[in-house]
Structure 1
Protein backbone atom coordinates (compact mmCIF):
# COMPACT_ATOMS: atom_id res chain seq x y z
CA UNK A 1 0.00 0.00 0.00
CA UNK A 2 1.28 3.44 -0.92
CA UNK A 3 1.60 6.10 1.79
CA UNK A 4 -0.96 8.23 -0.05
CA UNK A 5 -3.57 5.45 0.24
CA UNK A 6 -3.17 5.48 4.02
CA UNK A 7 -4.56 9.01 4.25
CA UNK A 8 -6.65 9.46 1.10
CA UNK A 9 -9.69 7.17 1.24
CA UNK A 10 -12.49 6.92 -1.35
CA UNK A 11 -15.53 9.01 -0.47
CA UNK A 12 -19.06 7.67 -0.67
CA UNK A 13 -21.20 9.55 -3.26
CA UNK A 14 -23.63 10.47 -0.46
CA UNK A 15 -21.00 12.86 0.90
CA UNK A 16 -20.22 14.85 -2.26
CA UNK A 17 -22.91 17.47 -1.78
CA UNK A 18 -21.92 18.00 1.85
CA UNK A 19 -18.23 18.46 1.00
CA UNK A 20 -19.24 20.88 -1.75
CA UNK A 21 -21.29 22.96 0.71
CA UNK A 22 -18.50 22.92 3.32
CA UNK A 23 -15.98 23.97 0.66
CA UNK A 24 -18.15 26.87 -0.54
CA UNK A 25 -18.64 28.10 3.02
CA UNK A 26 -14.89 27.86 3.62
CA UNK A 27 -14.22 30.16 0.65
CA UNK A 28 -16.67 32.68 2.11
CA UNK A 29 -15.03 32.41 5.53
CA UNK A 30 -11.62 33.15 4.04
CA UNK A 31 -13.08 36.34 2.58
CA UNK A 32 -14.14 37.36 6.08
CA UNK A 33 -11.16 36.15 8.12
CA UNK A 34 -8.13 33.94 7.59
CA UNK A 35 -8.70 32.32 10.99
CA UNK A 36 -12.31 31.50 10.14
CA UNK A 37 -11.19 30.20 6.77
CA UNK A 38 -8.78 27.71 8.32
CA UNK A 39 -11.52 26.60 10.73
CA UNK A 40 -13.71 26.00 7.69
CA UNK A 41 -10.89 24.06 6.04
CA UNK A 42 -10.66 21.78 9.07
CA UNK A 43 -14.44 21.25 9.01
CA UNK A 44 -14.32 20.40 5.29
CA UNK A 45 -11.57 17.83 5.84
CA UNK A 46 -13.61 16.31 8.68
CA UNK A 47 -16.68 16.13 6.43
CA UNK A 48 -14.67 14.32 3.75
CA UNK A 49 -13.38 11.80 6.29
CA UNK A 50 -16.85 11.29 7.75
CA UNK A 51 -18.08 10.07 4.37
CA UNK A 52 -14.98 7.99 3.62
CA UNK A 53 -15.69 4.56 2.21
CA UNK A 54 -12.51 2.46 2.45
CA UNK A 55 -12.18 -1.03 1.00
CA UNK A 56 -12.51 -3.85 3.52
CA UNK A 57 -11.29 -7.47 3.51
CA UNK A 58 -14.34 -9.50 4.48
CA UNK A 59 -13.74 -13.12 5.61
CA UNK A 60 -15.39 -15.56 3.20
CA UNK A 61 -15.86 -18.62 5.42
CA UNK A 62 -19.53 -19.52 5.71
CA UNK A 63 -21.08 -18.97 9.13
CA UNK A 64 -19.07 -15.91 10.18
CA UNK A 65 -21.10 -12.89 11.28
CA UNK A 66 -19.15 -9.66 10.82
CA UNK A 67 -19.63 -6.21 12.29
CA UNK A 68 -22.00 -3.98 10.31
CA UNK A 69 -20.28 -0.81 11.50
CA UNK A 70 -17.04 0.79 12.59
CA UNK A 71 -17.07 1.82 16.23
CA UNK A 72 -17.07 0.37 19.73
CA UNK A 73 -19.26 -2.36 21.22
CA UNK A 74 -21.36 -0.42 23.73
CA UNK A 75 -23.84 -3.10 24.83
CA UNK A 76 -24.28 -6.87 24.72
CA UNK A 77 -27.59 -7.97 26.20
CA UNK A 78 -30.74 -9.99 25.63
CA UNK A 79 -33.52 -8.18 23.76
CA UNK A 80 -36.46 -8.79 21.43
CA UNK A 81 -35.92 -7.68 17.78
CA UNK A 82 -38.01 -4.74 16.50
CA UNK A 83 -41.65 -5.77 16.22
CA UNK A 84 -42.04 -4.25 12.74
CA UNK A 85 -39.81 -7.00 11.28
CA UNK A 86 -42.35 -9.69 12.17
CA UNK A 87 -39.74 -11.96 13.77
CA UNK A 88 -40.72 -14.26 16.69
CA UNK A 89 -41.35 -12.38 19.94
CA UNK A 90 -38.36 -13.96 21.62
CA UNK A 91 -35.33 -12.35 23.26
CA UNK A 92 -32.06 -12.83 21.38
CA UNK A 93 -28.50 -11.72 22.06
CA UNK A 94 -28.14 -8.14 20.83
CA UNK A 95 -24.73 -6.60 20.07
CA UNK A 96 -24.73 -2.80 19.83
CA UNK A 97 -21.94 -0.96 17.99
CA UNK A 98 -21.75 2.77 18.71
CA UNK A 99 -20.34 5.03 15.98
CA UNK A 100 -18.89 8.41 16.94
CA UNK A 101 -18.72 11.31 14.47
CA UNK A 102 -15.11 10.28 13.73
CA UNK A 103 -15.93 6.72 12.60
CA UNK A 104 -16.56 5.64 9.03
CA UNK A 105 -20.37 5.54 8.75
CA UNK A 106 -20.89 3.21 5.81
CA UNK A 107 -22.82 0.16 7.07
CA UNK A 108 -22.18 -3.38 5.79
CA UNK A 109 -24.25 -6.57 5.92
CA UNK A 110 -23.20 -8.88 8.81
CA UNK A 111 -24.12 -12.07 6.92
CA UNK A 112 -25.14 -13.24 3.46
CA UNK A 113 -28.78 -14.03 2.69
CA UNK A 114 -32.09 -12.64 1.52
CA UNK A 115 -33.56 -9.48 2.99
CA UNK A 116 -36.99 -10.78 4.03
CA UNK A 117 -37.85 -7.83 6.25
CA UNK A 118 -37.19 -4.10 5.84
CA UNK A 119 -38.93 -1.47 7.95
CA UNK A 120 -38.35 2.19 8.82
CA UNK A 121 -39.77 3.70 12.00
CA UNK A 122 -39.54 7.38 12.98
CA UNK A 123 -38.62 8.20 16.54
CA UNK A 124 -36.60 10.33 18.92
CA UNK A 125 -32.91 11.24 18.93
CA UNK A 126 -31.49 10.18 22.30
CA UNK A 127 -27.78 9.53 22.67
CA UNK A 128 -27.26 6.33 20.65
CA UNK A 129 -25.03 4.81 23.34
CA UNK A 130 -28.00 4.57 25.74
CA UNK A 131 -30.01 1.36 26.04
CA UNK A 132 -33.33 3.15 25.43
CA UNK A 133 -32.12 4.30 22.00
CA UNK A 134 -32.95 0.84 20.60
CA UNK A 135 -36.62 1.25 21.50
CA UNK A 136 -37.22 5.00 21.23
CA UNK A 137 -34.95 6.40 18.50
CA UNK A 138 -35.57 6.66 14.78
CA UNK A 139 -34.48 3.39 13.17
CA UNK A 140 -34.33 1.31 10.02
CA UNK A 141 -34.46 -2.46 10.50
CA UNK A 142 -33.46 -5.34 8.24
CA UNK A 143 -34.13 -9.05 8.65
CA UNK A 144 -31.69 -11.23 6.72
CA UNK A 145 -32.60 -14.88 6.20
CA UNK A 146 -29.73 -17.28 5.57
CA UNK A 147 -29.77 -20.43 3.43
CA UNK A 148 -30.54 -22.59 6.47
CA UNK A 149 -33.63 -20.55 7.33
CA UNK A 150 -32.18 -18.81 10.37
CA UNK A 151 -32.56 -15.06 10.58
CA UNK A 152 -30.44 -12.15 11.74
CA UNK A 153 -31.78 -8.67 12.42
CA UNK A 154 -29.58 -5.61 11.90
CA UNK A 155 -30.91 -2.20 12.92
CA UNK A 156 -29.65 1.28 12.00
CA UNK A 157 -30.39 3.65 14.88
CA UNK A 158 -30.19 7.45 14.67
CA UNK A 159 -28.33 9.19 17.49
CA UNK A 160 -28.15 12.53 19.24
CA UNK A 161 -26.57 14.26 16.23
CA UNK A 162 -27.74 11.94 13.45
CA UNK A 163 -30.74 13.18 11.51
CA UNK A 164 -30.81 10.94 8.47
CA UNK A 165 -30.73 7.19 8.00
CA UNK A 166 -29.89 6.10 4.46
CA UNK A 167 -30.62 2.57 3.20
CA UNK A 168 -29.42 1.32 -0.20
CA UNK A 169 -31.19 -2.05 -0.30
CA UNK A 170 -34.72 -3.34 -0.82
CA UNK A 171 -36.85 -6.18 0.51
CA UNK A 172 -36.39 -9.57 -1.24
CA UNK A 173 -32.89 -8.56 -2.34
CA UNK A 174 -29.96 -10.96 -1.95
CA UNK A 175 -27.00 -9.52 -0.07
CA UNK A 176 -23.42 -10.63 0.54
CA UNK A 177 -21.52 -10.55 3.81
CA UNK A 178 -19.76 -7.21 4.01
CA UNK A 179 -21.84 -5.63 1.23
CA UNK A 180 -22.70 -1.98 1.78
CA UNK A 181 -26.36 -1.50 2.66
CA UNK A 182 -26.60 2.00 4.15
CA UNK A 183 -25.15 4.81 6.24
CA UNK A 184 -26.26 7.23 8.94
CA UNK A 185 -25.48 10.95 9.28
CA UNK A 186 -23.81 12.03 11.75
CA UNK A 187 -23.10 9.70 14.69
CA UNK A 188 -25.27 6.72 15.53
CA UNK A 189 -25.48 3.01 16.33
CA UNK A 190 -26.02 -0.42 14.77
CA UNK A 191 -27.69 -3.34 16.58
CA UNK A 192 -27.24 -6.95 15.51
CA UNK A 193 -29.57 -9.66 16.88
CA UNK A 194 -27.85 -13.04 16.76
CA UNK A 195 -29.78 -16.26 16.05
CA UNK A 196 -30.96 -18.18 19.10
CA UNK A 197 -28.11 -20.01 20.83
CA UNK A 198 -25.27 -18.21 19.01
CA UNK A 199 -22.72 -16.67 21.36
CA UNK A 200 -20.89 -13.36 20.75
CA UNK A 201 -17.14 -13.48 20.08
CA UNK A 202 -16.64 -9.84 21.07
CA UNK A 203 -16.92 -7.92 24.32
CA UNK A 204 -18.08 -4.49 25.49
CA UNK A 205 -15.46 -1.85 24.74
CA UNK A 206 -13.94 -3.72 21.79
CA UNK A 207 -13.24 -1.75 18.62
CA UNK A 208 -15.07 -2.93 15.50
CA UNK A 209 -14.21 -2.67 11.80
CA UNK A 210 -17.22 -2.96 9.49
CA UNK A 211 -17.08 -5.97 7.23
CA UNK A 212 -13.97 -7.37 8.90
CA UNK A 213 -14.35 -7.92 12.66
CA UNK A 214 -16.10 -11.22 13.42
CA UNK A 215 -19.00 -10.76 15.87
CA UNK A 216 -20.01 -14.42 16.08
CA UNK A 217 -19.57 -17.81 14.44
CA UNK A 218 -22.65 -19.85 13.59
CA UNK A 219 -20.73 -23.13 13.72
CA UNK A 220 -18.73 -22.48 16.91
CA UNK A 221 -19.60 -24.13 20.21
CA UNK A 222 -17.43 -22.08 22.52
CA UNK A 223 -19.08 -19.91 25.21
CA UNK A 224 -19.35 -16.13 24.95
CA UNK A 225 -15.91 -14.55 25.09
CA UNK A 226 -14.73 -12.55 28.06
CA UNK A 227 -12.12 -9.80 27.70
CA UNK A 228 -9.81 -7.70 29.82
CA UNK A 229 -9.46 -3.95 29.29
CA UNK A 230 -5.91 -2.71 29.91
Structure 2
Protein backbone atom coordinates (compact mmCIF):
# COMPACT_ATOMS: atom_id res chain seq x y z
CA UNK A 1 0.00 0.00 0.00
CA UNK A 2 2.83 2.40 0.80
CA UNK A 3 4.38 1.76 -2.61
CA UNK A 4 1.03 2.39 -4.30
CA UNK A 5 0.61 5.74 -2.52
CA UNK A 6 4.16 6.71 -3.51
CA UNK A 7 3.43 5.98 -7.17
CA UNK A 8 0.20 8.05 -7.07
CA UNK A 9 1.99 10.96 -5.38
CA UNK A 10 4.84 10.82 -7.87
CA UNK A 11 2.41 10.79 -10.78
CA UNK A 12 0.62 13.84 -9.35
CA UNK A 13 3.88 15.73 -9.00
CA UNK A 14 4.83 14.79 -12.56
CA UNK A 15 1.52 16.04 -13.96
CA UNK A 16 1.85 19.29 -12.03
CA UNK A 17 5.36 19.76 -13.37
CA UNK A 18 4.18 19.22 -16.95
CA UNK A 19 1.26 21.64 -16.56
CA UNK A 20 3.51 24.27 -15.04
CA UNK A 21 3.41 26.58 -12.04
CA UNK A 22 0.23 28.27 -13.23
CA UNK A 23 -1.75 25.05 -12.82
CA UNK A 24 -0.53 24.65 -9.25
CA UNK A 25 -1.40 28.27 -8.46
CA UNK A 26 -4.90 27.78 -9.86
CA UNK A 27 -5.39 24.73 -7.68
CA UNK A 28 -4.34 26.68 -4.62
CA UNK A 29 -6.57 29.60 -5.55
CA UNK A 30 -9.59 27.31 -5.81
CA UNK A 31 -8.91 25.63 -2.49
CA UNK A 32 -11.26 28.01 -0.64
CA UNK A 33 -14.76 28.76 -1.87
CA UNK A 34 -15.47 32.47 -2.52
CA UNK A 35 -17.28 34.11 0.38
CA UNK A 36 -18.34 37.43 1.87
CA UNK A 37 -19.05 38.46 5.45
CA UNK A 38 -21.02 41.53 6.48
CA UNK A 39 -22.87 42.98 9.44
CA UNK A 40 -26.49 43.98 9.97
CA UNK A 41 -27.77 46.87 12.08
CA UNK A 42 -30.96 47.74 13.91
CA UNK A 43 -33.83 48.71 11.66
CA UNK A 44 -34.84 52.33 11.34
CA UNK A 45 -37.97 51.56 13.35
CA UNK A 46 -35.92 50.03 16.18
CA UNK A 47 -33.55 53.01 16.27
CA UNK A 48 -36.40 55.53 16.33
CA UNK A 49 -38.13 53.61 19.14
CA UNK A 50 -34.81 53.09 20.96
CA UNK A 51 -35.45 49.35 21.24
CA UNK A 52 -33.07 46.39 20.77
CA UNK A 53 -30.08 48.50 21.91
CA UNK A 54 -27.72 45.50 22.12
CA UNK A 55 -28.78 43.80 18.88
CA UNK A 56 -25.98 42.72 16.55
CA UNK A 57 -25.82 40.32 13.62
CA UNK A 58 -23.24 39.01 11.18
CA UNK A 59 -23.91 37.22 7.89
CA UNK A 60 -21.50 34.99 6.01
CA UNK A 61 -22.29 33.81 2.49
CA UNK A 62 -20.20 31.05 0.94
CA UNK A 63 -20.41 30.17 -2.76
CA UNK A 64 -20.44 26.51 -3.79
CA UNK A 65 -20.79 27.07 -7.52
CA UNK A 66 -24.37 25.93 -8.06
CA UNK A 67 -25.67 27.65 -4.93
CA UNK A 68 -24.65 29.47 -1.77
CA UNK A 69 -25.06 28.97 1.96
CA UNK A 70 -26.05 32.03 3.98
CA UNK A 71 -25.40 31.81 7.71
CA UNK A 72 -26.74 34.52 10.01
CA UNK A 73 -25.59 34.80 13.63
CA UNK A 74 -27.37 37.30 15.89
CA UNK A 75 -27.04 38.35 19.52
CA UNK A 76 -28.54 40.90 21.89
CA UNK A 77 -32.11 39.97 20.91
CA UNK A 78 -35.01 39.11 23.26
CA UNK A 79 -34.79 35.57 24.60
CA UNK A 80 -36.97 32.77 23.20
CA UNK A 81 -38.36 34.94 20.43
CA UNK A 82 -39.11 34.06 16.81
CA UNK A 83 -38.15 36.26 13.87
CA UNK A 84 -38.64 35.91 10.10
CA UNK A 85 -35.73 36.27 7.66
CA UNK A 86 -36.15 37.85 4.21
CA UNK A 87 -34.04 38.72 1.19
CA UNK A 88 -35.01 42.24 0.11
CA UNK A 89 -34.87 44.69 -2.75
CA UNK A 90 -34.57 47.61 -0.30
CA UNK A 91 -33.50 47.50 3.35
CA UNK A 92 -36.02 50.13 4.50
CA UNK A 93 -39.73 50.68 3.83
CA UNK A 94 -41.29 50.15 1.34
CA UNK A 95 -38.80 47.20 0.99
CA UNK A 96 -39.78 46.33 -2.60
CA UNK A 97 -39.59 42.65 -3.55
CA UNK A 98 -39.19 40.57 -0.40
CA UNK A 99 -38.54 36.83 -0.35
CA UNK A 100 -39.21 34.77 2.81
CA UNK A 101 -36.18 32.58 3.58
CA UNK A 102 -36.37 31.14 7.09
CA UNK A 103 -37.45 31.47 10.69
CA UNK A 104 -34.84 32.67 13.20
CA UNK A 105 -35.39 31.69 16.84
CA UNK A 106 -33.40 32.95 19.83
CA UNK A 107 -32.32 30.89 22.81
CA UNK A 108 -32.37 31.80 26.48
CA UNK A 109 -29.34 34.05 25.95
CA UNK A 110 -30.87 36.06 23.11
CA UNK A 111 -28.63 34.56 20.44
CA UNK A 112 -29.72 32.84 17.23
CA UNK A 113 -28.10 31.14 14.26
CA UNK A 114 -29.62 29.93 11.02
CA UNK A 115 -28.20 28.65 7.73
CA UNK A 116 -30.10 28.86 4.43
CA UNK A 117 -29.16 27.32 1.07
CA UNK A 118 -30.08 29.22 -2.08
CA UNK A 119 -28.83 31.82 -4.56
CA UNK A 120 -27.31 34.73 -2.67
CA UNK A 121 -24.92 36.52 -5.01
CA UNK A 122 -24.73 39.23 -7.67
CA UNK A 123 -27.33 37.36 -9.77
CA UNK A 124 -30.01 37.06 -7.09
CA UNK A 125 -33.23 38.37 -8.65
CA UNK A 126 -36.95 37.89 -9.17
CA UNK A 127 -38.89 38.26 -12.41
CA UNK A 128 -42.51 38.04 -13.55
CA UNK A 129 -42.67 37.91 -17.38
CA UNK A 130 -46.44 38.18 -17.24
CA UNK A 131 -49.44 38.26 -14.96
CA UNK A 132 -51.04 35.00 -13.86
CA UNK A 133 -53.27 33.45 -11.25
CA UNK A 134 -51.74 32.99 -7.78
CA UNK A 135 -52.91 30.71 -4.94
CA UNK A 136 -54.77 32.51 -2.19
CA UNK A 137 -53.80 30.80 1.06
CA UNK A 138 -54.47 33.75 3.39
CA UNK A 139 -56.94 36.59 3.09
CA UNK A 140 -54.09 39.06 2.51
CA UNK A 141 -52.79 37.10 -0.50
CA UNK A 142 -53.06 38.52 -4.01
CA UNK A 143 -54.98 36.42 -6.53
CA UNK A 144 -52.60 37.35 -9.34
CA UNK A 145 -49.19 38.93 -9.81
CA UNK A 146 -48.20 42.15 -11.57
CA UNK A 147 -45.73 41.62 -14.42
CA UNK A 148 -42.27 43.07 -13.88
CA UNK A 149 -38.81 42.93 -15.43
CA UNK A 150 -35.92 41.29 -13.52
CA UNK A 151 -35.29 43.00 -10.17
CA UNK A 152 -32.23 42.20 -8.08
CA UNK A 153 -32.59 41.63 -4.34
CA UNK A 154 -29.30 42.21 -2.51
CA UNK A 155 -30.41 43.14 1.03
CA UNK A 156 -31.15 41.08 4.13
CA UNK A 157 -33.63 41.81 6.94
CA UNK A 158 -35.60 40.08 9.65
CA UNK A 159 -38.84 40.89 11.43
CA UNK A 160 -40.46 40.03 14.75
CA UNK A 161 -42.80 37.13 14.04
CA UNK A 162 -45.31 38.62 16.48
CA UNK A 163 -46.34 42.24 17.13
CA UNK A 164 -46.76 41.28 20.80
CA UNK A 165 -43.13 40.18 20.97
CA UNK A 166 -42.07 43.49 19.44
CA UNK A 167 -44.03 45.40 22.07
CA UNK A 168 -42.47 43.29 24.84
CA UNK A 169 -39.07 44.31 23.50
CA UNK A 170 -40.04 48.00 23.61
CA UNK A 171 -40.61 48.28 19.86
CA UNK A 172 -43.79 49.48 18.09
CA UNK A 173 -46.67 47.03 17.80
CA UNK A 174 -47.52 47.55 14.11
CA UNK A 175 -48.66 44.52 12.09
CA UNK A 176 -46.70 43.77 8.90
CA UNK A 177 -46.98 41.02 6.25
CA UNK A 178 -43.50 39.59 6.91
CA UNK A 179 -44.28 36.09 8.16
CA UNK A 180 -46.00 32.96 6.89
CA UNK A 181 -49.55 34.14 7.61
CA UNK A 182 -48.78 37.87 7.13
CA UNK A 183 -49.28 38.91 10.77
CA UNK A 184 -45.68 39.76 11.68
CA UNK A 185 -44.35 42.58 13.81
CA UNK A 186 -41.95 45.33 12.83
CA UNK A 187 -38.54 44.89 11.26
CA UNK A 188 -35.83 44.22 13.85
CA UNK A 189 -32.59 44.34 11.83
CA UNK A 190 -31.50 44.91 8.25
CA UNK A 191 -28.58 45.76 5.98
CA UNK A 192 -29.59 49.42 5.82
CA UNK A 193 -25.91 50.12 6.62
CA UNK A 194 -25.40 49.51 2.87
CA UNK A 195 -26.71 51.76 0.05
CA UNK A 196 -30.20 50.98 -1.23
CA UNK A 197 -28.93 49.94 -4.67
CA UNK A 198 -25.77 48.21 -3.47
CA UNK A 199 -26.85 45.65 -0.92
CA UNK A 200 -24.13 43.32 0.40
CA UNK A 201 -25.12 40.26 -1.66
CA UNK A 202 -23.99 42.20 -4.72
CA UNK A 203 -20.39 41.84 -3.48
CA UNK A 204 -20.29 38.11 -4.20
CA UNK A 205 -19.58 37.42 -7.86
CA UNK A 206 -21.76 34.85 -9.59
TM-score using structure 1 length? 0.28
What TM-score does the superposition give when structure 2 sets the normalisation length? 0.30
Q: Rg: which structure is higher?
A: 2
